[in-house]
């Protein structure tokens, strides 16, 4: 494991060629509660890039991967053609999509954050893919602390759905970077992060995942 800065990672992204039309697309993937939202926000700030959260495109506690047709039609397809995209956010309180469209301009880079955001379908067009990892018990504890004990059944079902997707997609093994979402290594979290290790463990998809493979 080692400590890296968001500024250095952002510089590497901006030095790389775009793959989604003129846009350098970064996917920050990982199981719910791993810390990927925090990581995406900090990397997005370093990139001066918009962050799109896939939770905003889900229709409630549906399967965590079902946002994809909306993301593709509303944002990715237009950007691929060099045109601005847009999307509507799901209102989890009122259980419906809001009427307001949020713009996704054509820019040097864009960060998408959420479970399955680095899936096989988009892998060839990603400039950078990140997997944020943390132990399952830690992730569940974070989720219950945020949402309340009454939503434990939804969280447990969600974790099962995530694991089923990853078992097929093998996302952690194919990302460019593994990040420790529950680090014990001293670092300045506002400016830096801790990378994870890649080993032969593939059961919990915590810090240790198999070696990276081709995007294709």
Reported as a single tens digit per residue, the pLDDT across 88-120 is 999 988 889 999 999 999 999 999 999 999 999
Distance in angstroms (rounded) separating the CA atoms of residues 120 and 174: 9
Say what percent of the chain tops pLDDT 70.
91
Say what percent of the chain tops pLDDT 90.
83
Burial of 128 (0-12, 13-18, 19+ CB in 10 A): buried
pLDDT digits (tens, 9 = 90+) for 43-74: 999 999 999 999 999 988 877 889 999 999 99
Burial of 166 (0-12, 13-18, 19+ CB in 10 A): buried
From residue 49, alpha-carbon distances to 35, 120, 182, 202 in Å are 19, 23, 25, 32
Fold classified for 3-194: Rossmann fold (3.40.50)
pTM metric for this prediction:
0.89
Domain ranges for the chain, please list them. Answer: 3-194
Map 92-103 to HEC letters: CCCCEECCCCEE
pLDDT digits (tens, 9 = 90+) for 113-166: 999 999 999 999 999 999 999 999 999 999 999 999 999 999 999 999 999 999
């Amino acid at each position: 494991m080692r400590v890296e800065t968001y500024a250095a990672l952002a510089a590497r992204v901006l030095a790389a060629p775009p793959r989604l039309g003129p846009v350098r697309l970064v996917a920050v993937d990982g199981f719910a509660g791993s810390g990927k939202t925090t990581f995406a926000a900090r990397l997005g700030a370093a990139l001066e890039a918009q962050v799109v959260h896939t939770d905003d495109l889900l229709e409630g506690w549906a399967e965590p991967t079902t946002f994809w047709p909306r993301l593709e039609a509303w944002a990715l397809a237009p950007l691929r053609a060099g045109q601005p995209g847009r999307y509507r956010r799901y209102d989890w309180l009122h259980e419906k999509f809001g009427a307001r469209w949020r713009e996704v301009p054509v820019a040097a880079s864009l960060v998408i954050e959420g479970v399955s955001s680095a899936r096989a379908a988009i892998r060839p067009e990603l400039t950078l893919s990140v997997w944020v990892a943390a132990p399952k018990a830690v992730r569940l504890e974070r989720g219950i602390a945020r949402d309340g004990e009454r939503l434990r059944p939804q969280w447990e079902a969600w974790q099962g759905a995530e694991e089923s997707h990853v078992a097929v997609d093998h996302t952690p093994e194919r990302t460019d970077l593994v990040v420790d979402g529950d680090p014990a290594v001293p670092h300045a979290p506002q400016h830096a992060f801790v990378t994870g290790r890649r080993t032969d463990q593939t059961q919990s998809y915590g810090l240790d995942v198999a070696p990276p493979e081709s995007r294709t």
